[in-house]
Amino acid sequence: MNRKLEAFQRLLEVMDELRVKCPWDREQTFESLRNNTIEETFELVDAIADKDMANIQKELGDLLLHVVFYAKIADEQKEFDIADVANSLCDKLIYRHPHVFGAVDVADSGQVSRNWEALKQREKDRKGGVLSGVPKGMPPLVKAYRIQEKVAAVGFDWEKKEDVWAKVKEEIAEVDAEIRSGDRARLESEFGDLMFALINAARLYGVNPEAALEACNKKFIRRFNHIERRCAEAGKTLRETPLTEMDEYWREAKQEE
């Protein structure tokens, strides 16, 4: 047995021990682990965004634990086990990579993605429509991006990416109209349409909107922390500091980047 298989076997044996001997692990169910799984996923995403390889390794381990944990619970319920999970994944990967395991030729990664979605859709046709596989609990920004990817893969997309800007401008005008009308429900709806259009524009220009927004969040935090430090150095609280002065500190932070 090679090093990787030995390590995985060790993990399965540790999980077996925990499930029998640890009161907390013994009590866990699919439902009780669900929120922890979501948290672990976001911690991995954060580590990837920070390019922190040591933390990526740690968070991958935490996420792998959840995969093994769910499979262990299912095995106890006589539903499936970790071998079924791995084999079904291998079957799916082989089926969706005919350019690797079959005789299909592809020109580039874009064609691979289109073929993947087409093959995936054939599987979904027996269960639902194009968007049936988008998780209901997915964060809205990520969900919007995934929805747009899926419909684009079956041909529902702008003929030219530049055309999306007319839609963005249209949605801005509709937001402005609802601001003036005072209809809060319609204003919320139009803001949603505007954000959906902007996410679509980002996709068309090869930008991941979730990553772009998170980078913006970090940039804002960094600059605002600078404002707080400068106010403290001046012996003032933020509320005691005029906006013009805070703007000056903001510009300082920008120049230091």
Query: What is this structure's pTM?
Result: 0.65
Q: Which residues contact 63 (CB under 8 A, 6 or more apart)?
A: 37, 40, 41, 44
Instruction: Report whether 72 contacts 82 (CB < 8 A).
Output: yes
The structural domains of the chain, with segments of one domain joined by +, span 3-83, 211-256
Pairwise CA distance, residues 174 & 244, whole Å: 32
Query: How buried is 24 (Cβ within 10 angstroms: 0-12 exposed, 13-18 middle, 19+ buried)?
Result: exposed
What fold, for 3-83?
Helix Hairpins (1.10.287)
Segment 92-131, tens digit of pLDDT: 899 888 888 877 777 777 777 777 777 776 666 556 688 8
Residue 117 token pair:
């979605």
**CA dist 129 → 17, 98, 150 (Å):** 42, 23, 11
In this structure, is the dihedral angle defined by the CA atoms of residues 183, 186, 191 and 194, taken in order, positive or negative? negative
Distance in Å from the first CA to the final CA of the chain: 51
- Cβ neighbours of 171 (radius 10 Å): 19
Segment 158-172, tens digit of pLDDT: 999 999 999 999 999
Instruction: Report whether 197 contacts 168 (CB < 8 A).
Output: yes
Percent of the chain residues past pLDDT 70, beyond the cut: 95
Q: How far is CA 143 from the centre of its chain?
A: 8
Pairwise CA distance, residues 35 & 46, whole Å: 17
Residue 148 token pair:
């747009």
Segment 19-52, tens digit of pLDDT: 999 999 999 999 999 989 989 998 998 899 888 9
